[in-house]
Amino acid sequence: MQLAVRELTKRYKTGDGVSRINLEVEKGELVTLLGPSGCGKTTMLRSIGGFLEPDSGDIQIEGRSVIHLPPEQRPTSMVFQSYNLWSHMSVYDNLAFGLKIRKLPKADIRAAVEDVLKLVRLPGYEKKYPAELSGGQQQRVALARSLLLKPAVLLLDEPFSALDAKLRHEMREELREIQMQTGLTMVFVTHDQEEALSLSDRIVVMNHGSIEQIAEPQKIYDEPDSLYVASFIGKMNFLEGVADEGVIRLGALRYPDEKRLSGKVTIAIRPEDVSLSEPIESGERLTGKIKQVMVLGHYAEVTVELAGQGTLRTFQSKEATQQLRIGKEVSVSIAKMTGFPANEPQ
């Protein structure tokens, strides 16, 4: 186990923070802390890095408690949202600074800087200054600086949030590639669910200072533990249903009640699990009218007003939308759903 967080509590006067957090991260794993602003993910990351002193609990790295060590004595390195590069220093000097403090030989420092610049796809940039670099290039240098320190755990606090969407996507791919090449253990903070799903070995979904669910991205997406996780990860429809006699009923549809719920339930349905077809008389379908069609490149988002059941957002192929128009009646079938108690908070 590379990192272990035990019963970590840090509360601010405002009431924000985290309470009794437990988390274990294995060597070579990339774990993402995901949640909205104020959920406690950055508090947790900064506590691991030593930038915040917890009220109680312990943090162990490679089996050793680091809770009383200052940031510079912990085997961690942090990449911030702001690049924190020294503007008066060249890329080379920015990168070499930490190694010079460690009194490494000049030849070793030069070789290490050249190697890490190749790793972040910036070979030959040693003599440039931060002002001459784009935002993406500056973030690559900031990442390279942390990699040079060879930390036991690399901490990343929303490092790509200041970049545009295309560059953010490229940087995600590059970070994942670097992580696989180096075998580094990483803890990554983001509020961007797509970023978390695409990057992580495991995702930690946080809410009001507590952990709602820890699992692999696909499991978080397919099997959310709570209504909060279901609503936060990916797009989701929520409809009212009823559970009794071992089934969940949604209009004419029936689904197994695996959680043994009873009474009113909230049914969660992914837009891609909804199929639309020509209106037919069937006991196993719902009926509705097309309310809106939005073509989004290779697919379309089609909203259906269900008869007596509410509104359902669906994802359909671009080809299928040629047969759909606003006001058209359709039959609706749902491949799968997840049920939650009706009174559970989102």
Task: Give the DSSP per-residue string, 111-159.
Answer: HHHHHHHHHTT-TT-TT--GGGS-HHHHHHHHHHHHHHT--SEEEEEST
Are 111 and 220 part of one and the same domain?
yes
pLDDT of residue 277: 86
Residue 280's pLDDT band (boundaries 50, 70, 90)?
A: confident
pLDDT of residue 240: 92
In whole angstroms, give the CA distance from residue 299 to residue 319: 8
Token pair of 20 as six digits:
């009794």
Dump pLDDT digits (tens) for 130-183: 999 988 889 889 999 999 988 999 999 998 887 888 888 888 888 898 898 889
Domain end point (choices 199, 228, 257): 228
Are 317 and 334 part of one and the same domain?
yes
Give me the CATH number covering residue 65.
3.40.50.300
Q: Which residue(s) pair with 332 in the sheet?
A: 276, 286
Are 257 and 163 part of one and the same domain?
no
The DSSP bridge pattern shows strands 64-65 and 56-61 to be antiparallel
The reply to whether 346 falls in a domain is no
In whole angstroms, give the CA distance from residue 341 to residue 257: 12
Domain end point (choices 228, 258, 278): 228
Are 181 and 282 part of one and the same domain?
no
pLDDT of residue 134: 87
Question: Is residue 101 predicted with pLDDT exceeding 90?
Answer: no
> What is the number of domains present in the chain?
2
For the four alpha carbons of 220, 221, 222 and 223, in that order, the dihedral sign comes to positive
Residue 189: name the closest of 73, 47, 60, 20 by CA: 47
pLDDT of residue 281: 65
Are 307 and 218 part of one and the same domain?
no
Please give the sequence-ordered ranges of beta strands (E in DSSP) within 283-346, or none if there are none: 286-296, 299-306, 310-317, 329-334, 338-341
- What range defines the domain where residue 240 resides? 235-341
Mean pLDDT of 246-253: 87
pTM for this one? 0.89
Q: Which residue(s) pair with 229 in the sheet?
A: none
Give me the CATH number covering residue 265.
2.40.50.100
